[in-house]
Structure 1
Amino acid sequence: MLKQCVFSTVRLLGVGVATFALASCSSFSRVETPNQNKRVNSIVVHFTAVDKKETFRLFQDETKSVSAHFVVTEERIYQMADLSARTYHAGKSYWHGRHSLNDTSIGIEIVQEVNCNQREEGTHKFPPQVCVYPDFSPKLVNNILKALDKIYHYYPDIKAVDVVGHQDIAPLRKLDPGPRFPWQYLSQQGYGAWYETADYLDEYQKLSDTTLSQTQFLQALTMYGYQDVEPLYQAFLIGAFQTHFTPDKITGTVTKESMAAILALLKKYYPEKYEQITATFSTENE
């Protein structure tokens, strides 16, 4: 029976870069260290805003530095990179204490043409653009689910709250995948987060006698995973949350609907944080 040999390269002291190989005919042993984490722990969903031809032109242009792991169309799902590779889809971003999510996420680009007016550069007006968002077709949604299924085959431990949109992780820059994206339906199929209807209605009812606090709402958003931003940009952050979880009411200011939604989300996914934030509500209203 042949023994497997492990070769180690050793640097000799005082010999500059000279090295030599040592062979040890012993087997590997695995001893786990607690000082580690998963490299991939989130999925970021985008729309391309342009057609398939332009999408592939951009993604295959070495000068553009833009890419994703998957490009999804109605007809097919195109895998553009290995799931262990780093692609350039998130840019300057933040989620759950992590910056630059290209390093730790899988990117899904959905070919969905969206028309917007010119962005008002240099202003802090919300919304920065007015867009016409078409519905995502059933065929497109079905292929999105297939892409998610493949990702979870490789990374089954990605949490529901870590399936997010580009706007969630970069609210000052991005608007995708927009208010028409079927987050609730995807959650029903086992992908991504959504609140329980009963919890939402219960929280909404409780708010009838409560003064809405934007400070508490923003605190709840950071508990859930969103980045804290300067007051000048808070409307963009609130709008990002509303686009994802209350798409029928996007105002950029705290509403009963958005407050009820974030509380219901915390209650479902982070019960300890829910108890913490609702305790402050009681104190404020005593």
Structure 2
Amino acid sequence: MTDFTADYAGATVAPSPNHGERLDVAGPDMIVLHYTGMNSADGALSWLCNPESQVSSHYFIYEDGRVVQLVPESRRAWHAGKSFWHGVTDINSCSIGIEIANSGHPAGLPDFPEPQIDAVIELCRDCGARWSIAPERVLAHSDIAPVRKLDPGEKFPWDRLSQNGVGHWVSPGPIGGGRFFQRGDSGQPVEALQSMLSLYGYGVEISGEYCDKTEGAVTAFQRHFRPSLVDGIADFSTIDTLHRLISSLPKFQGA
């Protein structure tokens, strides 16, 4: 692909050939955040621009905060893979993908440097304003692909993003006692949990059985919204946090 003009004024351009037409959408209504999971930032950027990789993202953010645009926002980048959110399976067509240089879980999940997070916030705010993206539609790769993906991981500072107007967040419920649910459990309380996860957007079948997919969705939820303990067990803290997130959605305000 030839050079194009960056949609975000703070970005330089490094065109990737890995993109296509957005399908059946007017434009993106979601932002998906990833980590690269590679040791070298330059190596990760090169891979996203390599036609053999068949992967790409709209943006890439270096550790020092430099932002590179690989694919025009009008085009469909190939970053989400097999994924699901609120009934939609073609997440690539309705999203902006942002890759954040970080070697991830294989390297012990290094901290995200402050200049990098500052850049993530500024970019997300810019994209969100231009495309009218709702806060609850700023998501982790692990949210849309539980079990399969872990990024950007439990050390990603979603609370800090929220404090700066990016994403949907409530303070996690305190971890303590109370009833909990885990794999192998079944019954109406598990069905209620699955209903709440599905209502928020996760791809969970409402079966009343605490299956591997339910455990995966709970784990992904914890990784994003209750990161101090990520174990796939739906304890009071997890359920309370999920309930308050749902209650704070605009469509439930005043209901």
TM-score, length of structure 2 as denominator length:
0.78
Q: Secondary structure at the match of 2:212?
A: helix
- CA offsets 1:180-222 (integer angstroms, 9 cap, x no match): 011111011101000257xx57xx99x95x7763332221010
Q: In structure 1, what residue type is equivalent to 2:197?
A: L
Q: 1:255 to 1:190 in 2, by over 3 A?
A: same
Q: Return closer, same or farther for 1:211/1:133 CA change in 2, 3 Å cut-off.
A: closer
**Aligned equivalent of 1:167:** 142
Closer, same or farther: CA 243–187 of 1 in aligned 2, 3 Å:
same
8 Å contact 2:143–2:221 — kept in the other structure? yes
2:240 is the counterpart of 1:251: no
User: Which residue matches 1:149?
Assistant: 125
Greater CA drift, 38-47 or 239-248: 38-47
Is 1:99 aligned with 2:74? Answer: no
Cα 1:162/1:176, change in 2 over 3 Å: same
SS in 1 for 2:75: coil
Distance 1:211 1:65, change over 3 A: closer
Spell out, residue by residue over 1:41-82, the C-alpha distance to the aligned partner (whole angstroms, 9 max, x if none): 100000001121211221121121100010001231001111
Structure-2 change in CA distance of 1:60 and 1:138 (3 Å): same
Which residue in the other structure is 2:30 paired with? 42
The 5 A counterparts of 1:175-186 are 175-186=150-161
Residues 128, 134 of structure 2: 8 Å contact kept: no
Aligned equivalents of 1:235, 1:109: Cα separation in 2: 26
Per-residue deviation, residues 255-280 of structure 1 (Å, max 9, x unmatched): 111001001101111564997xxxxx
Match among 53, 61, 81 for residue 50 of structure 2: 61
Name the CA distance, whole Å, in 1 between partners of 2:91 and 2:164.
25
Structure 2 stretches lacking a partner, 5+ long: 1-23, 182-188
Aligned 1:170-249 pairs, distance under 5 A: 170-195=145-170, 200=173, 213-229=189-205, 231-249=211-229
Gaps of 5+ in 1: 1-35, 117-130, 276-286
242, 247, 250: which is aligned to 1:267? Answer: 247
TM-score for both structures, normalised by structure 1: 0.70
Higher relative contact order (CA 8 A, sep 6+): 2
Distance verdict in 2 for CA 1:196–1:242, change over 3 Å: closer
Residue 103 of structure 2: aligned partner: 113
How many residues end up aligned between the 2 structures? 219
